[in-house]
Structure formats: structure tokens, C-alpha cells
Amino acid sequence: DVLATAINLGTLTAAVPVQWNGVIGDSNAGANDVDLYKFVLTAAQTVSFTTTPGIGADLALRLFDNAGTQLAIQNAGGVGAAETLISGILGAGTYYLGVSSSGNVTYNPATGAGASGGTTTGAYTLTSGNILTPDSNSSFATANQVGVRGTTQLTINSQIESQGIPLPPYPGGTDEPSH
């Protein structure tokens, strides 16, 4: 339930997704139980994690840096609904993912203090998803593969981040009068 005792998932890579089975409520904390997972990135990447809860569980995901500062949270589902957390671009380093019951989202991962408000208990499966390096999908040749789409729904979350590429002046700008 704290960073020092987090389950070590090792170094994450796109080639080898991680899958782990866990249970919220398997400690004396009951619905306020927290499972923390440690993982390492060797280069700047975007990571995603999905929890698929068992019957009756409503889960929340929180992403932390090495010091325990929250970077992202995902708690939009409901009882029995999967939760997927997609990070922004994370630099190389060590990170932690917290899985808890919905409502228990103010705990301190460094000390374990503040674990309260949990609403459900139950089993879940944690899976890492696509792990992308910045701009690894910026052309037709490197586009993300989504497979053949049929009647099943697919939700794709993305973000555009500023690039360090200088653009030419706008037409009619101060360098070209009368345009």
C-alpha cells in the first residue's frame, strides 16, 4: 500500500504487455485497500493501463512519479466498468500506478495515510496497453494499428503536444507587407 512495497512490474516495453491479477479488499483495510505497482521507462513514452474489474467492483487508477506526486487519475467508470488511464508523455524514470476502490482517491502513496472513502471490493485484472514514444505515429508508415473494425466499439484517446519546430511566418505577416 506504499511506494516502498509496490509490486515491481519491471521495465515496460511495447513488445511485452504486462498483465497482473489483483484484489481490492484482501487486507485489513477492506474497501480502502490500495495496490501499488512500480514500473520503469527507459525513454520518454506514453503509457496506458486498463483495469477490468470483477463483479461488483468499481475501481480508480492513479499515476504517480517517483516521489509520489500524482500525475494522472482515472475514475470515470462505474461498478463493473473497465477503467483506462493514458498518461501524457513521461520521461525516462520510475513511476507508480495505484489501483483502489472508487472513492478512495486521496491516499498518500508514500506513507499510506488518507486511505478512506472506498466503496467496493473485488478482483481485477491490470493490463498495460500501447506504449508509444513521442511522435511514433506521425506518418502513414508509423500510424497506430487499430485492426479491422466491425461492430465492436473502439475508443481512441490522444493528445497533441507542442513541437520544437519553427514554422514559417504567417501570410500577411510583418515580413511581407500587403499580403
pLDDT digit string, tens, across residues 164-177: 555 555 566 555 55
Is 104's pLDDT higher than 70? yes
Is 35's pLDDT higher than 90? yes
Do the Cβ atoms of 23 and 36 come closer than 8 Å?
no
For residue 35, give every residue at least 6 positions away whose Cβ sits within 8 Å of its Cβ, in sequence order, or none. 1, 7, 22, 23, 24, 98, 99, 100
Q: What percent of the chain has pLDDT over 70?
A: 72
Do the Cβ atoms of 45 and 81 come closer than 8 Å?
no
pTM over 0.85: no
Is 28's pLDDT higher than 90? yes
Mean of the per-residue pLDDT values of the chain: 83
Helix (H, G, I), strand (E, B) or coil at 32: helix
78 pairs with which residues across the strands? none
State the DSSP code for 163: -
| Higher pLDDT pick, 138 / 90 | 90
What pLDDT does residue 168 have? 57
